[in-house]
């Protein structure tokens, strides 16, 4: 091969090389955007979560905090146990699926907050973006996030069916006939949807069957733990009502929350609870305080995780400098 002399002028690039280089340069911004869209989506959803918590809390949530505050420490202990039941079980699931580090726990809390405050399954989109931003940890996050969401919905429908079989025969005299009819149709719809997903499971799910069963049992444990702990919290707040009655009411609350065709679910549960145990003002104050405390926990966790993120980024920049 002939060596090029130092003083020899370089030959102009061929038209073919120019034609190859131009598209590559044009693709660079697109590739950068593709790499950064998970972080951008996560940032947008985090800001939306903060706005949603602020609106809900200062719109009507603080009214529950200004009313009668439970003085028993047992209420706060069991309330926190009920609050963290969902993210802890999600962490156990994704620890098995992806072997996620402890850094996934804040992301799973944000997932739960987004699903509570924003449109349904927004939190799942946030967690999918979080996983996509860490592709060295997992190569195909969409299938796992999708399967976990679907199995969670099926588990909720199964528990609604079981609770409906127990609660409706016991409480049908306290509920209006049109509401009973709506509940029955909702249970039929939830059952049919769950059966359809199970029948077409090979086309719907991407995870192995053993992982799907693991997710199902963890979700079942999560629902039971959340129901029992919030019932214990309310029993500590209002000890004049037996724990058995609180468990019955929480089962009705779980049933109502899973039925798709019922309007004003919170109002229906509150009216049913008042009819069952009385204590009109005390019960309404307790429900309002529980809802406001949940919103307050959402806000505190978002601020805490945000502060930790800013501190870690600042420390990394200082080391790099």
**Nearest by Cα to 216 from 95, 112, 60, 89:** 89
Segment among 43-47, 87-91, 164-168, 258-262 with least mean pLDDT: 43-47
Number of domains in the chain: 1
| Parent domain of 192 | 37-310
Residue 128: inside a domain, yes or no?
A: yes
The helix (run of H) or strand (run of E) holding residue 16 is helix 15-56
Q: What pLDDT does 163 receive?
A: 78
Residue 5: inside a domain, yes or no?
A: no
- Confidence band, pLDDT 50/70/90 cuts, at residue 315: confident
Above 70 in pLDDT, residue 186? yes
Q: pLDDT tens for residues 242-298? A: 887 788 778 777 777 776 656 555 656 666 666 666 655 677 778 778 877 888 888
Contact call for residues 77 and 258 (beta carbons, < 8 A): no
Choose from 23-32, 162-171, 257-266, 295-304 the range with maximum mean pLDDT: 295-304
Render the burial of 176-198: b for 16+ CB within 10 Å, e for the rest: eeebeebbeebbeebeeebeebe
Higher-confidence residue: 310 or 42? 310
Among left, alpha and beta (phi > 0; psi -120 to 50; other), residue 121 is: left
Residue 18: inside a domain, yes or no?
A: no
Q: What pTM was computed for the model?
A: 0.74
Residue 25: inside a domain, yes or no?
A: no
User: What is the DSSP code (8-state) at residue 208?
Assistant: -
Above 50 in pLDDT, residue 28? no
Residue 302: inside a domain, yes or no?
A: yes
Residue 209: inside a domain, yes or no?
A: yes
- Separation between Cα atoms, residue 74 and residue 267, nearest integer Å: 26
User: In percent, how much of the chain has pLDDT > 70?
Assistant: 64
- Separation between Cα atoms, residue 149 and residue 156, nearest integer Å: 11
- Separation between Cα atoms, residue 129 and residue 107, nearest integer Å: 10
Q: What pLDDT does 191 receive?
A: 79
Higher-confidence residue: 157 or 15? 157
Higher-confidence residue: 267 or 234? 234
Higher-confidence residue: 258 or 302? 302
Residue 163: inside a domain, yes or no?
A: yes
Q: What pLDDT does 164 receive?
A: 72
Average pLDDT, the chain: 75
Q: pLDDT tens for residues 51-110? A: 655 555 555 555 555 556 788 899 999 999 999 999 999 999 999 998 888 889 999 999
Segment among 80-84, 126-130, 139-143 with least mean pLDDT: 139-143
Q: What pLDDT does 253 receive?
A: 77
Segment among 29-38, 70-79, 109-118, 133-142 with least mean pLDDT: 29-38
Residue 8: inside a domain, yes or no?
A: no
């Amino acid at each position: 091969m002939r060596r090029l002399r130092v003083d020899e002028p370089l030959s102009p690039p061929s038209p073919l090389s120019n034609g190859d280089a131009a598209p590559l340069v044009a693709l660079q911004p697109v590739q950068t955007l593709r790499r950064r869209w998970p972080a951008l989506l996560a940032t947008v959803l985090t800001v939306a979560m903060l706005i949603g918590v602020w609106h809900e809390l200062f719109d009507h949530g603080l009214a529950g905090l200004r009313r009668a505050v439970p003085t028993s420490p047992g209420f706060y202990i069991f309330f926190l146990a009920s609050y963290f039941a969902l993210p802890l079980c999600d962490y156990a699931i994704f620890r098995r699926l992806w072997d996620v580090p402890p850094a996934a726990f804040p992301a799973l809390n944000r997932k739960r907050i987004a699903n509570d405050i924003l449109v349904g399954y927004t939190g799942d989109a946030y967690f999918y973006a979080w996983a996509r931003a860490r592709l060295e940890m997992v190569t195909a996050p969409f299938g796992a996030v999708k399967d976990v969401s679907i199995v969670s919905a099926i588990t909720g429908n199964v528990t609604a069916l079981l609770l409906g079989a127990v609660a409706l025969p016991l409480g049908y005299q306290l509920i209006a006939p049109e509401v009973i009819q709506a509940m029955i149709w909702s249970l039929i719809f939830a059952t049919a949807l769950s059966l359809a997903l199970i029948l077409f499971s090979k086309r719907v799910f991407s995870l192995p069957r053993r992982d799907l069963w693991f997710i199902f049992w963890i979700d079942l444990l999560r629902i039971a733990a959340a129901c029992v702990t919030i019932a214990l919290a309310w029993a500590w707040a209002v000890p004049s009502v037996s724990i058995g009655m609180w468990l019955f009411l929480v089962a009705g609350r779980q049933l109502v929350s899973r039925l798709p065709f019922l309007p004003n679910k919170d109002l229906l549960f509150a009216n049913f609870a008042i009819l069952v145990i009385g204590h009109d003002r005390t019960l309404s104050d307790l429900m309002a305080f529980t809802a406001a405390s949940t919103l307050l926990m959402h806000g505190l966790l978002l601020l805490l995780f945000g502060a930790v993120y800013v501190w870690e980024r600042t420390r990394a920049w200082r080391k790099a400098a």
